[in-house]
Copies of this chain bind each other. A is one copy, B any other.
Amino acid sequence: MTAVDAATLYYQVQQFYAQQMQLLDDGKVAEWAATFTEDGVFAANAHPEPVTGRTAIEAAARKATEEYAAKQIQRRHWLGMVSVESGDQDAVVARCYALVIETPRGGQAAIRVSTVCADKLVRDGDNWLVQDRQVTRDDLA
Protein backbone atom coordinates (compact mmCIF):
# COMPACT_ATOMS: atom_id res chain seq x y z
CA MET A 1 0.00 0.00 0.00
CA THR A 2 1.37 3.41 -0.96
CA ALA A 3 1.60 6.26 1.52
CA VAL A 4 -1.27 8.02 -0.26
CA ASP A 5 -3.42 4.89 -0.11
CA ALA A 6 -2.67 4.54 3.59
CA ALA A 7 -3.59 8.19 4.19
CA THR A 8 -6.82 7.77 2.25
CA LEU A 9 -7.75 4.69 4.26
CA TYR A 10 -7.00 6.49 7.53
CA TYR A 11 -9.25 9.36 6.53
CA GLN A 12 -12.04 6.93 5.70
CA VAL A 13 -11.80 5.32 9.13
CA GLN A 14 -11.90 8.73 10.84
CA GLN A 15 -14.88 9.86 8.77
CA PHE A 16 -16.65 6.55 9.41
CA TYR A 17 -16.14 6.83 13.16
CA ALA A 18 -17.40 10.41 13.23
CA GLN A 19 -20.55 9.60 11.28
CA GLN A 20 -21.19 6.37 13.17
CA MET A 21 -20.96 7.96 16.59
CA GLN A 22 -22.95 11.04 15.64
CA LEU A 23 -25.77 8.68 14.58
CA LEU A 24 -25.76 6.96 17.96
CA ASP A 25 -25.52 10.16 19.97
CA ASP A 26 -28.31 11.70 17.89
CA GLY A 27 -30.54 8.75 18.76
CA LYS A 28 -30.66 7.41 15.21
CA VAL A 29 -30.43 3.85 16.44
CA ALA A 30 -31.51 1.99 13.31
CA GLU A 31 -29.09 3.98 11.14
CA TRP A 32 -26.33 3.36 13.69
CA ALA A 33 -27.03 -0.38 13.82
CA ALA A 34 -26.81 -0.43 10.01
CA THR A 35 -23.11 0.44 10.36
CA PHE A 36 -22.53 -3.10 11.63
CA THR A 37 -22.54 -6.15 9.38
CA GLU A 38 -25.60 -8.40 9.61
CA ASP A 39 -23.50 -10.84 11.65
CA GLY A 40 -21.59 -8.11 13.47
CA VAL A 41 -20.29 -8.64 16.99
CA PHE A 42 -20.21 -6.03 19.76
CA ALA A 43 -18.27 -7.26 22.76
CA ALA A 44 -17.41 -5.30 25.89
CA ASN A 45 -15.76 -6.21 29.16
CA ALA A 46 -18.68 -4.41 30.82
CA HIS A 47 -21.10 -7.01 29.39
CA PRO A 48 -21.32 -10.67 30.39
CA GLU A 49 -21.29 -11.81 26.75
CA PRO A 50 -21.00 -10.35 23.26
CA VAL A 51 -24.04 -9.02 21.44
CA THR A 52 -24.18 -10.77 18.07
CA GLY A 53 -26.02 -9.70 14.96
CA ARG A 54 -27.28 -6.35 13.78
CA THR A 55 -30.78 -6.96 15.17
CA ALA A 56 -29.53 -7.66 18.67
CA ILE A 57 -27.06 -4.77 18.49
CA GLU A 58 -29.87 -2.43 17.52
CA ALA A 59 -32.11 -3.67 20.33
CA ALA A 60 -29.39 -3.15 22.95
CA ALA A 61 -28.60 0.32 21.66
CA ARG A 62 -32.27 1.28 21.58
CA LYS A 63 -32.71 0.29 25.20
CA ALA A 64 -29.68 2.34 26.27
CA THR A 65 -30.75 5.30 24.13
CA GLU A 66 -34.23 5.32 25.66
CA GLU A 67 -32.79 5.19 29.16
CA TYR A 68 -30.54 8.18 28.47
CA ALA A 69 -33.43 10.09 26.89
CA ALA A 70 -35.61 9.42 29.93
CA LYS A 71 -32.83 10.76 32.16
CA GLN A 72 -32.33 13.77 29.84
CA ILE A 73 -28.64 13.01 29.46
CA GLN A 74 -26.87 13.76 26.18
CA ARG A 75 -24.12 11.29 25.43
CA ARG A 76 -21.15 11.99 23.18
CA HIS A 77 -18.86 9.20 22.04
CA TRP A 78 -15.38 10.55 21.32
CA LEU A 79 -13.06 8.24 19.44
CA GLY A 80 -9.47 9.36 19.11
CA MET A 81 -5.88 8.26 18.83
CA VAL A 82 -6.94 6.07 15.92
CA SER A 83 -4.31 3.55 14.90
CA VAL A 84 -4.92 1.62 11.70
CA GLU A 85 -3.02 -1.55 12.57
CA SER A 86 -3.42 -3.25 9.21
CA GLY A 87 -5.71 -3.03 6.27
CA ASP A 88 -6.36 -2.77 2.60
CA GLN A 89 -9.22 -1.43 0.52
CA ASP A 90 -11.53 -4.21 1.76
CA ALA A 91 -10.81 -4.70 5.46
CA VAL A 92 -9.19 -2.80 8.29
CA VAL A 93 -8.04 -3.62 11.80
CA ALA A 94 -8.06 -0.45 13.91
CA ARG A 95 -7.54 0.34 17.57
CA CYS A 96 -8.50 3.62 19.17
CA TYR A 97 -9.39 5.24 22.46
CA ALA A 98 -13.02 6.07 23.18
CA LEU A 99 -14.50 8.35 25.79
CA VAL A 100 -18.14 8.64 26.70
CA ILE A 101 -18.91 12.19 27.74
CA GLU A 102 -22.26 12.87 29.33
CA THR A 103 -24.12 16.12 29.88
CA PRO A 104 -27.34 16.21 31.90
CA ARG A 105 -29.82 18.85 30.74
CA GLY A 106 -28.92 22.01 32.61
CA GLY A 107 -25.95 20.25 34.18
CA GLN A 108 -22.23 19.73 33.95
CA ALA A 109 -20.49 17.75 31.19
CA ALA A 110 -18.15 15.02 32.46
CA ILE A 111 -16.31 11.95 31.31
CA ARG A 112 -18.36 8.87 32.09
CA VAL A 113 -15.86 6.19 31.03
CA SER A 114 -12.54 5.83 29.24
CA THR A 115 -12.23 2.79 26.98
CA VAL A 116 -10.17 1.16 24.26
CA CYS A 117 -11.98 0.12 21.10
CA ALA A 118 -10.58 -2.59 18.81
CA ASP A 119 -12.40 -2.96 15.50
CA LYS A 120 -12.49 -5.13 12.44
CA LEU A 121 -14.04 -3.09 9.65
CA VAL A 122 -15.07 -4.36 6.23
CA ARG A 123 -15.88 -2.41 3.12
CA ASP A 124 -19.45 -2.33 1.85
CA GLY A 125 -19.46 -0.43 -1.43
CA ASP A 126 -18.48 3.15 -0.64
CA ASN A 127 -19.02 2.62 3.08
CA TRP A 128 -17.45 0.70 5.93
CA LEU A 129 -19.15 -1.62 8.37
CA VAL A 130 -18.08 -2.95 11.76
CA GLN A 131 -17.72 -6.71 11.70
CA ASP A 132 -16.28 -7.00 15.18
CA ARG A 133 -15.90 -4.43 17.97
CA GLN A 134 -14.26 -5.11 21.31
CA VAL A 135 -14.63 -2.33 23.89
CA THR A 136 -12.54 -2.49 27.05
CA ARG A 137 -13.44 -0.13 29.87
CA ASP A 138 -10.38 1.10 31.71
CA ASP A 139 -12.06 0.93 35.10
CA LEU A 140 -12.83 -2.77 34.66
CA ALA A 141 -9.66 -3.79 32.82
Partner of A138, one of B14, B21, B80, B109: B109
Partner of A74, one of B6, B96, B112, B141: B141
A79 surroundings in chain B (CB, below 8 A) = 81
A107 surroundings in chain B (CB, below 8 A) = 139
A101 surroundings in chain B (CB, below 8 A) = 99, 111, 114
User: Shortest beta-carbon distance, A89 to chain B, in Å?
Assistant: 9
A76 surroundings in chain B (CB, below 8 A) = 81, 97, 114, 138
A6 surroundings in chain B (CB, below 8 A) = 8, 11, 15
Say yes or no: A11-B7 contact (C-beta < 8 A), given A78-B81, A139-B104, A139-B109.
yes
Closest 3 CB pairs of A and B: A7-B11, A103-B138, A109-B114
Check B7 against A139 for contact (C-beta < 8 Å): no
A8 surroundings in chain B (CB, below 8 A) = 3-4, 6-7
Q: Which of A100-118 contact B (CB under 8 A)?
A: 101, 103-114
Residue A61 is within 8 A (CB to CB) of chain B in the complex: no
Give Cα A140 to B80, complex, Å. Answer: 25
Give Cα A92 to B101, complex, Å. Answer: 27
Residue A22 is within 8 A (CB to CB) of chain B in the complex: yes
Residue A86 is within 8 A (CB to CB) of chain B in the complex: no
Check A10 against B3 for contact (C-beta < 8 Å): no
